Amino acid sequence: MKKFQIINGPNLNLLGKREPGVYGNVSFDEYVRTLRAAYPDCEIAVFQSNREGELIDKIHETGFDFDGIILNAGAYTHTSVALHDAIKAVTTPVVEVHISNVHAREEFRHHSMISAACKGVIAGFGLNSYRLALESFA
């Protein structure tokens, strides 16, 4: 069974309640239930933290034996050299995802500190961005 780790960063624990016009009104727990049902042959682990260091620890922990990491680093996407370095430090490929189309939003969201360290980037497809990232590993 292939193993995938989803890592969600700051404020993504509030999905379903947070700015529903941007991020939708479905909670991540609810979404992951449908994702797991659609991919019964994949083990899909989920981790969320509002703390940068905990996101880094999770990348280290899963970055050598999982088949893929799907990372939505939230706002740390735009600021974190440490996350960039963590992604480079591991062997598991990491796909960067965003629910919203960051390029159609404020200018400070246009630059990602982590894209260059990732295998690819998927943004703007709502929660479906996670499914597309999973597909990319197939």
Give the nearer residue to ligand DQA in terms of CB position, either 64 or 110: 110
Q: Binding residue for ligand DQA (CB under 6 A) from 49, 62, 72, 80?
A: 72
Tokens of 93: 């490929």
Return the closest-CA partner of residue 95 out of 127, 124, 117: 117
The yes or no reply on residue 49 touching ligand DQA (CB under 6 A) is no
Q: Binding residue for ligand DQA (CB under 6 A) from 48, 49, 80, 100?
A: 100
Q: How far, in Å, are 72, 95, 104, 105 from residue 7 at the CA level?
A: 6, 10, 23, 22
The yes or no reply on residue 75 touching ligand DQA (CB under 6 A) is yes
Where does this chain touch ligand DQA (CB under 6 A) — which range of 24-32, 61-69, 70-78, 113-121? 70-78
Distance CA 109, CA 74 (A): 10
Buried b (16+ CB within 10 A) or exposed e, 78-102: bebeebbebbeebebbbbbbbbbeb
Give the nearer residue to ligand DQA in terms of CB position, either 41 or 107: 107
Return the closest-CA partner of residue 93 out of 35, 36, 138, 53: 138
Where does this chain touch ligand DQA (CB under 6 A) — which range of 26-34, 36-44, 81-89, 92-100? 92-100
Residues interacting with ligand DQA, by CB under 6 A?
11, 72, 74-75, 77, 98-100, 102, 109
Give the active site residues: 23, 98
